[in-house]
Structure 1
Amino acid sequence: MLSSIVVEVFWCELKSYRVSYFTRANMVIWVLQALGGWKDELAYCELLLKDDIFNNSAWNQRYFVVTRSPLLGGLGAMRESEVTCTVNAIMEHPENESPWRYLRGLYRNDTQALVQDPQVASVCLKILTAKNNYVHALSMLLDLLCHGFQPSLEIRNAVYGLSDSGAQGSDLVKVVCSILELVDPMRANYWKWRRNMAPAQAAQCLKDDGLTGLSL
């Protein structure tokens, strides 16, 4: 576990700006590529996340290992198990943005797989139904909708349940954006822009991905 030697040097600095993520990551990457030591690296990432599931640097390192390790078979071979692991992390702390970003990364350059994977829609539904810490679930659902995802009645009702009674039957993308404008005020202008751009975004995504009639 050669990279762990490097990380141990900065163990007390993992959450400090004195040693940036890029400095740590570049050193770990150099060690792995130059000297090897891939064997225990994924397990070490799991230890870091067990210690602090909010450790974004550990999530980034895990993605590097999953996608670059010559021992794991690449993202295609690891995706199913990694999605399951990530969904579990999301269910534990749905307010944690890092696993949501990691989940998107697992489908990099394969939007169709993201839309079609039932685990993704399922975790969104569970978080939305719980009505607690659902900002990132709504954001993920918005991305799915803009890529041709056809939501079930359960998902529609879960979203409408987060809005006012007058939203029932309204365009779901606009309802999602309107809710996000209220519950995520720091990015209200961004969600307003997404709401206004929704028709054009949906048309472009469908053109790019060729996704029609998909439902999970």
Structure 2
Amino acid sequence: MSDCDDNDAGWIFYKDRPDWSDVKPVPEDDGPTPVVVIAHSEKFEDVYDYFRAVLQNDEKSERALELTKDAVELNAANYTVWQYRRELLKALGTDLRSELDYVESVIRLSPKNYQVWHHRRVLVEWLQDPSHELDLTEEALLQDPKNYHAWQHRQWAMKTFGLYDTEIEFVDSLLTEDVRNNSAWNQRYFVHNNYTGWSDINVQKEISYTLEKIKFVKNNESAWNYLRGVLIHDKRGLNGNGLVTSFCEELYRNRCRSPFLLAFIIDACEDAIKKNEADGCHNAIRAIELCDALATKYDKIREKYWKYLSNRFQKYKSENGDNHSV
């Protein structure tokens, strides 16, 4: 959608349309000394001059509704056009289901446009009918699995209308396709947080699921972050879940030096220290060694951060007299 299609076959400028002869177009007013003048095509100026006119006159008519379609085609991100279109829909009693079909076609052309998705949301609220929203957002996400607006709309529809039943299966399919898809990991957490809950059974199932994904791709920040999020709901914390500790130690013994593994062990060390549960796996001395390894070899781009963290563990060691060896 752009303002460059001046040579549309059959296009007639509004200024040349007899049924618009009663309307005086309102040119854009950038003031006497505009800082930056945007060069628009003749078609764009014609459409928006007439749109400003109907807006100024508060005209509620079918021709005004059609005019907003031309305005959307030229700039689908214009908030005022969409807002006025909604006012027209209400005033004219337009069939909202046909409007859903229309906005679906616009979404396919502008899938990352916030205003289009907002318009869709308002229509669904008016109709109280979310029956097409999961399919629509799935189509958008299959094209771009990280489309923020599609995810936002999907989560809104699910939370508002309780559409959770098959979402874990959908997320599984996305993670099978791309295990690094951070948006899909986030959606998985969203479903458990808002629907299934964090019973101990669910927590342990999610831990096992995540460890399998990490085993497949060890250098996957999204999965490690999800594991942290799940362990928030485990009363044993980062350092107390035997399955997780064994998994991490096995990776480490097998010479895995993913910075995300090392960072996780460091966090587990801090968790243990704060709970006075430091042991042979989780203690200040080990955390210092891992911080130094990250700073000098495995994550040098964040060297200053790891040195800062190392100094913090030095203080823990001094304060607590941590004598555990690695």
Task: Provide TM-score, normalisation by structure 2.
Answer: 0.51
2:241 counterpart residue number: 117
- Structure 1 residue 114, shift from structure 2 partner: 2.5
Residue 152 of structure 2 is aligned to residue 26 of structure 1: yes
Residue by residue over 1:165-188, the C-alpha shift from the partner in whole angstroms, topping out at 9 and shown as x without a partner, is xxxxx9222111111112101111
Q: 2:298 aligns with which of 174, 183, 194?
A: 183
**CA separation of 1:199/1:12 partners in 2, compared to 1, >3 Å: closer, same or farther?**
same
1:211 counterpart residue number: none
**CA separation of 1:59/1:150 partners in 2, compared to 1, >3 Å: closer, same or farther?**
same
2:323 counterpart residue number: none
Corresponding residue SS for 1:37: coil
Task: Provide TM-score, normalisation by structure 1.
Answer: 0.75
Q: CA RMSD for the aligned pairs? A: 2.6
Given that 1:147 and 1:202 are in contact with CA atoms closer than 8 Å, whether structure 2 keeps it comes out as no
Residue 311 of structure 2 is aligned to residue 196 of structure 1: yes
Aligned length: 182
- Hey, what's the Cα distance between the residues in 2 that align with 1:197 and 1:130? 28
Residue 179 of structure 2 is aligned to residue 45 of structure 1: no
Equivalence map 1:72-151=2 (5 Å): 72=196, 74-76=197-199, 77-108=201-232, 112-148=236-272, 149-151=277-279
What is the identity percentage for the equivalent residue pairs of Structure 1 and Structure 2? 26
- Hey, what's the Cα distance between the residues in 1 that align with 2:233 and 2:191? 18
What runs of 5+ residues in structure 2 fail to find an aligned partner? 1-130, 321-326
What runs of 5+ residues in structure 1 fail to find an aligned partner? 157-169, 207-216
Equivalence map 1:159-170=2 (5 Å): none
- Hey, what's the Cα distance between the residues in 1 that align with 2:161 and 2:294? 46
Corresponding residue SS for 2:198: helix
Question: Larger RCO: Structure 1 or Structure 2 (Cα < 8 Å, ≥ 6 residues apart)?
Answer: 1
Given that 2:238 and 2:271 are in contact with CA atoms closer than 8 Å, whether structure 1 keeps it comes out as no
The structure whose Rg is larger is 2
Given that 2:231 and 2:237 are in contact with CA atoms closer than 8 Å, whether structure 1 keeps it comes out as yes
1:159 counterpart residue number: none
Q: 1:54 aligns with which of 155, 180, 183?
A: 180
1:166 counterpart residue number: none
- Structure 1 residue 195, shift from structure 2 partner: 0.1
Corresponding residue SS for 2:165: coil
Given that 2:288 and 2:310 are in contact with CA atoms closer than 8 Å, whether structure 1 keeps it comes out as yes
Residue 142 of structure 2 is aligned to residue 11 of structure 1: yes
- Structure 1 residue 133, shift from structure 2 partner: 4.2
